Structure 1
Amino acid sequence: MLEMNNKLHRSHDKVLAGVCGGFAEHYGWDAAMIRIFYAAAMVFTGFFPLGLIYIIAAVVMPEADA
């Protein structure tokens, strides 16, 4: 069940910046599946829109607390 006090953040379980890992932790999904879906979507959309969204999310999302 999704906890309402669980704030969205970048994960320590990261491959690049921890954005996909953060979304996976927030929604309780598997991080590998999020990464595979996002990478496939980036390939099929020509990298630009989703690549820019990933960069913006990496800058805007706070780092996870220790």
Structure 2
Amino acid sequence: MTLNVRADILFQKPSFWEPIQSKRCLVPSTGYFEWRHEGNKKIPYYIFLKDEEIFSMAGIYDEWLDKTTEKI
């Protein structure tokens, strides 16, 4: 599972081509974490909208069939 991807890489990877074209969605959220690296430490920053409880982010998705279980 990929939770986020940089926009400049998104259009370079073939695995994202079909989802970009036809499998778009909105992802409701109250916020998300971004990480900042300072030396050996990773510091989490929670990003949210001050005046909004919930907001939507652009998303793409894909489905695949597990060859062992034949489940999506």
TM, length-normalised to structure 2: 0.23
User: Which has a greater percent of helix?
Assistant: 1
Q: Larger RCO: Structure 1 or Structure 2 (Cα < 8 Å, ≥ 6 residues apart)? A: 1
TM, length-normalised to structure 1: 0.24
